[in-house]
Amino acid sequence: MRAEGQAQAADQVSIGNSINSLRFVNSNNWREFVGEHSLVEQTLAGDPSGIYAEMDFATRDRYRHAVEGIARRSQLTEYDVARKAVQLAENHARERPADRAAHVGYYLVDRGRPALESLVEMRLSRQSFSTGCDGSFRLPAISRSWHS
């Protein structure tokens, strides 16, 4: 009987802790939390065009998910992928700061993505391959640097 009472008391403590944890989760502003604690968010905020920091949460979240997807198929961490994207934008911004390629998003979700994928040596998946409108099979563009 005594062991049963102790087990019931332990269960009550666990349930109380769970309820307090749920209250904590519910009371936090997760958008603010991500902004303050995410290394990827802080890195992408270094976008040389300054556009990233002005974007809404949903768009920034899309960019963070792009970083996550690229990192998953490379040997780099999400932080490293974000840093490489910012570096590509910084390199372009030195020459042409008003160009869209001076924005980190160009390399995450736009036409500059193949350059970032190549830089981080991202592995291709079956989904990277596609079929054209005429049913022909197309391979994605692969960039190579030739060494003498």
- At position 44, the amino acid (one-letter code) is L
Tell me the pLDDT band of 146, cut-offs 50, 70 and 90.
Answer: very low
pLDDT tens track for 52-67: 999 998 999 999 999 9
What is the arithmetic mean of pLDDT over 62-84?
A: 97
Secondary element (H or E) of residue 137: strand 137-138
pTM: 0.67
Q: Which residue has the higher pLDDT, 33 or 137?
A: 33
CA dihedral 48, 143, 118, 146 (to 10 degrees): -100
Quote the tokens at residue 39. Answer: 């290394």
137 backbone dihedrals φ, ψ, rounded to 5°: -90, 130
